[in-house]
Amino acid sequence: MTLDAKARRLLAAFADRYETESFLEGDPSCFMHRVSGDANREATAFVAASLSFGARSQFLPRVQWIIDRAGGDVDGWIRAGRFERDVPPDAARPFYRFFTYATMNSFFRAYRRLMEDFGTLGAFVAAQAHGDAVQAVAAICKAFRERGDEGVVPKDAHSACKRVCMFLRWMVRTGSPVDIGLWADAIDRRTLVVPMDTHVVQEARRLGLLKSATASMASARRLTAALAEAFPGDPCRGDFALFGLGVMGGRPAAALRTEE
């Protein structure tokens, strides 16, 4: 599709308005800004992203619980296997939504095995993705599935993989008060895929950026291509614009009038 000048202005204005430090307030991206050390920021971000679904009021405290149990060192907590004490493989004990303690234990075990094989998730992605974010999503899904994860990470890259795509945005984009760009040299930001959930689909459809009502990797890539018209070289900046439109309650026409 081709965006008209008004749509480009609307998206740019909302990205400018919402890609600010205040965006971190109440967003799962805040956690990686509260810890130190690149490996720890990476691990904290991945755990936070992996639990980021449902109501923020419910999943944010669960992420904080993990950070507290880890003493602020999520990377070391996983790498040393200390999670086994705090998150035993108890299938009868709920952790968050449909994740049990056993589900989370399998996730941490898979993550630890990947660390043992590659050092960090970032080193794994650098070795496997060849600079491409779509390949990175597929590689991460496959790696966790093969190492025994029982469903925290999507089993493959056919779904929208919203949480993995969001994590990649955090890790790759630089020059942002939100995203930290630790993997900027490993992944080309032009290949990032917009994190897509039902709310993003709704806003994209209201603005005419997307026809499909299904959140899939194929539709996420189509939306990303549309946003690349407004943000050449950095399509995931459009994620902040769509967030802003959501804050406006789905009133893109009214929002556009305020920006003219």
pLDDT digits (tens, 9 = 90+) for 45-79: 999 999 999 999 999 999 999 999 999 999 999 99
DSSP string, 232-257: TT-GGGHHHHHHHHHHTTS-HHHHHH
Given this model, what pLDDT does residue 193 score? 98
Average model confidence (pLDDT) across the chain: 93
pLDDT at 104 over 60: yes
Domain limits at 41?
A: 5-259
Q: Which of 258, 255, 257 is nearest to 206 (CA)?
A: 255
Given this model, what pLDDT does residue 1 score? 61
Distance CA 255, CA 2 (A): 20
Q: Provide the domain count of the chain.
A: 1
Return the sign of the alpha-carbon dihedral for residues 149, 155, 156, 160: negative
pLDDT at 7 over 90: no
Question: Are residues 95 and 107 in contact, defined by beta-carbon separation less than 8 angstroms?
Answer: no
pTM, two decimals, is 0.94
Q: Read off the pLDDT of each residue in 93-111 and give the average, rounded to a whole number.
A: 98
pLDDT at 40 over 60: yes
DSSP string, 126-189: HHHSTT-HHHHHHHHHHHHHHTT--SSS-SSSSB--HHHHHHHHHHH--S-SS---TTTTTS-G
pLDDT at 195 over 80: yes
Write out pLDDT tens, residues 218-247.
999 999 999 999 999 999 999 999 988 887
In this structure, the number of other CB atoms found within 10 A of the CB of residue 4 comes to 10
55 backbone φψ class: left, alpha, beta (φ>0; ψ -120 to 50) = beta
Q: Which of 140, 60, 150, 63 is nearest to 99 (CA)?
A: 150
* CA 245 centroid distance within chain: 19
Q: Which of 167, 192, 164, 190 is nearest to 180 (CA)?
A: 167
Distance CA 259, CA 53 (A): 31
Residue 228 DSSP class: H
